[in-house]
Amino acid sequence: MDFTLIETLRFEPGTGFLRLDQHMRRLGRSADALGFRQPVKADAALKDAVNGAQTPLRVRLTMNFRGRVEVTVTPFEPVAENTIWRIRIAQKTRLRSDDALYRHKTSRREPYEAARAEFSPEEADEVLLLNERGEICEGSFTNVFVQGADGILMTPPLSSGLLPGILRADLIRERKARAEVLKPENLHGRPLFVGNALRGLIRAELVEAVEKAVA
C-alpha cells in the first residue's frame, strides 16, 4: 500500500464538516513536513462524497505524495453521553518520543495496531501507549486527558511523542486543557477521558493490567 496522509472527519447533516479548517491545515502542514505535494481539489472531493447525505458520516480522506486525494464515507453513530470506555495500557508496545513520523497522521500505523492487538475488544475499548521513558503518549486512535484539581484537562505534550489531535488542539486553544507530562500513576483518582475530532470527549476508566495476572 502506498504511504499516505490521512484525515478522518465528521459530517453532520445541516451542519456540514466539523472542524474542516483545522483538518485541512494539519494535512497541509504534514504535507510540507514529509515532502508531499499539497492536496489537489480536496474540498471538491469532500463535498462530492457527502452530497445528499441525510445521516452523520465518518469521512476518511487519504492523500498520496503527489497530492491525489481519495475520500470514503461510512455511517457514523455518535457515542452516547453516558458511555464509559475501558482503557488499558499496552505492555509490549511503545512509541519513541523522537520519532517525528508519528506526529503526522499517516498510513504507517504499526505500533498503534500492535498495541490494540494486545487486548481483545471485550478487554478494552481503547489502549494507551507509553514512550521509552514510561510517559503516556496517546491511545491507538485517541488523545488522552486527565482532569486536574483546577478542573483543567491535562494532556501529554508533543515532546512525549504523539499525534497533535484536532480535538486536543482545540481544547488547548480554548484553555480547557494544557500540555503536561503524564505517567500511568497520574491516571489514578482523577476523571479520565479519551477523545478525537470524530467522537469528541469520552469518559474513561483505567483497567489495571494486574487483573490479567490474578490466578
**Percent of the chain topping pLDDT 90:** 94
- Residues spanned by the domain of 44: 5-75
Given 56, 75, 94, which residue is the final one in a domain? 75
Task: Kindly state whether residues 50 and 128 are assigned to the same domain.
Answer: no
Domain count within the chain? 2
The grid cell for 133 is: 521513558
Task: Kindly state whether residues 97 and 49 are assigned to the same domain.
Answer: no
pLDDT of residue 2: 80
Rounded to whole angstroms, how far apart are CA atoms 16 and 11? 5
Which CATH number characterizes residue 23's domain? 3.30.470.10
pLDDT of residue 208: 82
Given 75, 99, 129, which residue is the final one in a domain? 75
Task: Kindly state whether residues 112 and 182 are assigned to the same domain.
Answer: yes
**pLDDT, average across residues 185-204:** 96
Rounded to whole angstroms, how far apart are CA atoms 214 and 212? 6
Q: What is the pLDDT of residues 117-143, one digit of tens each?
A: 999 999 999 999 999 999 999 999 999
Per-residue pLDDT at 160 exceeds 70: yes
Bridge-based pairing state of the strands 192-196 and 200-206: antiparallel
Q: What is the pLDDT of residues 1-50, one digit of tens each?
A: 489 999 999 999 999 999 999 999 999 999 999 999 999 999 999 999 99
Given 23, 50, 75, which residue is the final one in a domain? 75
The grid cell for 179 is: 500540555
Rounded to whole angstroms, how far apart are CA atoms 183 and 148? 14
Task: Kindly state whether residues 154 and 56 are assigned to the same domain.
Answer: no
Classify residue 26 by burial, with Cβ atoms within 10 Å: 0-12, 13-18, 19+: buried
Rounded to whole angstroms, how far apart are CA atoms 34 and 65? 9
pLDDT of residue 209: 61
User: Is the overall model pTM greater than 0.85, yes or no?
Assistant: yes
Task: Kindly state whether residues 131 and 208 are assigned to the same domain.
Answer: yes
Instruction: State the Cα angle at 111 between 115 and 181, rounded to 5°.
Output: 80
Phi, psi of 202 (to 5 degrees): -125, 125
**pLDDT, average across residues 98-117:** 95
Which CATH number characterizes residue 128's domain? 3.20.10.10
